[in-house]
Structure 1
Amino acid sequence: MTGLQTHEHWIATAQGTLFAQEWSPSQAQGAPIILLHDSLGCVALWRDFPAQLARSTGHPVIAYDRLGFGRSDAHPDRLRLGFVEAEARQGFAAVREHLHIDAFIVFGHSVGGGMAVGCAAAFADHCQGLITESAQAFVEARTLEGIRAADLQFAEPGQLQRLRRYHGDKAEWVLRAWVDNWLSEDFAEWSLDALLPQVHCPLLSLHGENDEFGSQAHPERLVALTSGPGVLRLIPGCGHVPHREQADGVLAEVGRFLR
């Protein structure tokens, strides 16, 4: 299966316009897979993974830029405690409504994995499957150490320019939204524990063995606390971005899960 149709969508919301992109195989089958990006991510930073995912599974794939990221409008405010859980009823709900999506599969990377949990819980009657990749289920010392190290790196000359390539004038907001929220005292007790029992669909939790932003305690908690059947796949020799570092392995795991 090689033929893919791609479509761009601009989705109006009360807070601003969202950008979304869709990859549809010529003979698409099954519920669309909706991708939720990480804290510094956007549609463009998924690179060729959405197309690979659509080709390998036969499912339509949709990715969107959350408000404040990528080609979506700037966020009118700073992110506040509860933003992970709130995405289900905000940007995600707007994408579903605009594209007339009923049943769906949700796939989230890093903080997008936490948001995907929220989507599976909020729309439990419509979610056919949940895939998390390098998701954080709670605030762990390793996560905070990784964020502090990244913040120092972005303070070096020219480093913020890497984010500007994808987020434009929103780059500084994107960086602060990640660093300042996770390192704040208010966020210290955050976890997905209350949401996870509300997830009833099958779960595939992928996690790199060498993930610099979280130990395997995260996927273990995800699988242990969801109400549906869960599968944990620890990926040897892999860091925080398995879909880029070991794309073939991720695609194979997703294919097995969907079958």
Structure 2
Amino acid sequence: MNGAPENAAQVHFARVRWSGREHRIEHVWLHPARTRRPLLVFLHEGLGSVAMWKDFPAQLCDAVGCRGLVLSRWGYGQSSPRPGHERWPVDFMHQQARDFLPAFFEAVGVDVARERPWFYGHSDGGSIALLYAAFYPEVPGGLIVAAPHIFVEDKTVASIEKARDGYVTTSLRSKLARYHADPDSAFWGWNDVWLDPDFRRWDIRSLLGSIRCPVLAVQGYDDEYGTMAQIDGIAERAPRTELLKLHDCGHSPHRDQPALLARAVAAFVQRHAHHETPGRTGAPPHTNGATRRHT
């Protein structure tokens, strides 16, 4: 299959009823036999997909010793493409967190009250993970958010404008076609909404105080799409936040610093997962303050 994930895990498709119609959602299970270990759900970036992660989810699950669930959101990878006439709404990440993810978990048989899944979210996927934890604070066991967005910075918009020019004038479209059945669906869905003037007011900081689970927020000093203000803002509002700030790292820590990142995530999950047991419901206790790590 074009765009098949390099970890060679079997690709599945779920029928997910959401936003008034049924969507075909690509997903992959990693190490499903590890039933007594945490479930780590991978939420990709604005141009990502199951295949675009390459081997990182499998490598991270091995480092953590957990199960994994990797999906391509609607409009990405081999999932149902976005119709050409439709634009993502400004609150698309809110909708993905509040409405799509519960529908997806139900379709693939994840009982979130029993599983208390963990999330690894990259960029837009990190924002969706934060929103999910804010809307459903009793559900997640923990979050790892890499290069997430909590408000719109001028730097982000400038880089997305540059990406738009590159999509039209360079080989970017053909490169994305290796990972998406419909690269135009993936690219323009993301690019159009981020460059919508109304999106400049998008801001989720007021919701972050509802997050109860531990959060590891990761940012590279060389990230062309955001500054440290993004993860510092999480630490100011979500009380169980730890920060990992990485040198020699751009927007994709899993590509630029994979070994260091895997060690940090494994240690983070080990510190917190033993407090969560399958079948437990209710929220973990709050702790005050944030731990900052600079690497």
TM-score interval w.r.t. the shorter chain?
over 0.9
Q: Provide structure 1 residue ranges, at least 5 long, that are not aligned to the other structure.
A: none
Secondary structure of 1:13's aligned partner: strand
The more displaced of 69-78 and 107-116 is 69-78
In the aligned structure 2, how far is the partner of 1:35 from the partner of 1:117? 13
Shift of 1:28: 5.1
Q: Please list the CA deviations of residues 96-150 of structure 1 after superposition, one character each: whole Å capped at 9, or x if unmatched.
A: 2123232110111001110010111222112110110011111001101111111
Alignment pair present for 1:219 and 2:231: yes
Cα distance change on mapping 1:25 and 1:249 into 2, 3 Å: farther
The more displaced of 149-158 and 78-87 is 149-158
Secondary structure of 2:261's aligned partner: helix
Q: Provide structure 2 residue ranges, at least 5 long, that are not aligned to the other structure.
A: 1-6, 271-295
**Pairwise mapping of residues 20-99 of structure 1 onto structure 2 (< 5 A)?**
20-24=27-31, 27=34, 29-76=36-83, 77-97=86-106, 98-99=108-109
Cα distance change on mapping 1:257 and 1:165 into 2, 3 Å: same
In the aligned structure 1, how far is the partner of 2:172 from the partner of 2:38? 39
In the aligned structure 2, how far is the partner of 1:27 from the partner of 1:201? 22
Q: Please list the CA deviations of residues 184-234 of structure 1 after superposition, one character each: whole Å capped at 9, or x if unmatched.
A: 1110111111221111111100001100000000000011111x3110110
Shift of 1:74: 1.5
Which TM-score applies when normalising by structure 2?
0.82
Shift of 1:7: 4.2
Number of equivalences: 254
Alignment pair present for 1:135 and 2:145: no
Shift of 1:175: 1.4
Shift of 1:244: 1.0
Shift of 1:157: 4.3
Of 170, 195, 199, the residue aligned with 1:183 is: 195
Shift of 1:5: 9.7
Amino acid at match of 2:15: A
Amino acid at match of 1:245: D
Say whether the 8 Å CA contact 1:208–1:239 is kept in structure 2. Answer: yes
In the aligned structure 1, how far is the partner of 2:27 from the partner of 2:130? 20
In the aligned structure 1, how far is the partner of 2:26 from the partner of 2:145? 22
Identical-residue share of aligned pairs (%) = 30
Match of 1:13 in 2: 16
Match of 1:247 in 2: 258
Say whether the 8 Å CA contact 2:87–2:192 is kept in structure 1. Answer: no
Secondary structure of 1:135's aligned partner: coil
Say whether the 8 Å CA contact 1:121–1:199 is kept in structure 2. Answer: yes
Cα distance change on mapping 1:125 and 1:146 into 2, 3 Å: same
Say whether the 8 Å CA contact 2:129–2:145 is kept in structure 1. Answer: yes
Cα distance change on mapping 1:31 and 1:5 into 2, 3 Å: farther
Q: Please list the CA deviations of residues 1-32 of structure 1 after superposition, one character each: whole Å capped at 9, or x if unmatched.
A: xxx99443311122311111011165454320
Say whether the 8 Å CA contact 2:145–2:217 is kept in structure 1. Answer: yes
Say whether the 8 Å CA contact 2:248–2:256 is kept in structure 1. Answer: no
**RMSD in angstroms over aligned alpha carbons?**
1.7
Match of 1:199 in 2: 211
Which TM-score applies when normalising by structure 1?
0.93
The more displaced of 213-222 and 184-193 is 184-193
Q: Please list the CA deviations of residues 6-62 of structure 1 after superposition, one character each: whole Å capped at 9, or x if unmatched.
A: 443311122311111011165454320101000110010010001101111111011
**Pairwise mapping of residues 113-124 of structure 1 onto structure 2 (< 5 A)?**
113-124=126-137
The more displaced of 16-25 and 66-75 is 16-25
